[in-house]
Amino acid sequence: MAREREPRTPRTPAPEQWSQLGGEIRGGRHVLPVRVYYEDTDFTGIVYHASFLRFMERGRTEYMRRIGAGHRDLFEQAASEAPGFGFVVRSMRIDYLKPAHMDDVLEIVTEPEEVKGASVTVLQRVTRDGEVLVEAHVRVAFVAGGQARPIPKPLRIAMQAGRERASDTADSSR
Q: Which residues are catalytic?
A: 42
Residues 115, 120, 123, 124: what is their CA dihedral angle, to the nearest 10 degrees? Answer: 140
Burial zone of 35 (CB within 10 Å; 0-12 exposed, 13-18 middle, 19+ buried): exposed
Q: What are the residue ranges of helices labelled H in the chain?
A: 49-66, 71-81, 153-172
User: Is the distance from CB of 109 to CB of 59 less than 8 angstroms?
Assistant: yes
- Bridge partners (DSSP) of residue 111 are 123
User: Is the distance from CB of 59 to CB of 30 less than 8 angstroms?
Assistant: yes
User: Is the distance from CB of 133 to CB of 153 less than 8 angstroms?
Assistant: no
Report how far apart, in Å, the C-alpha atoms of 155 and of each of 34, 53, 99, 115 are.
25, 23, 34, 10
- Bridge partners (DSSP) of residue 131 are 128
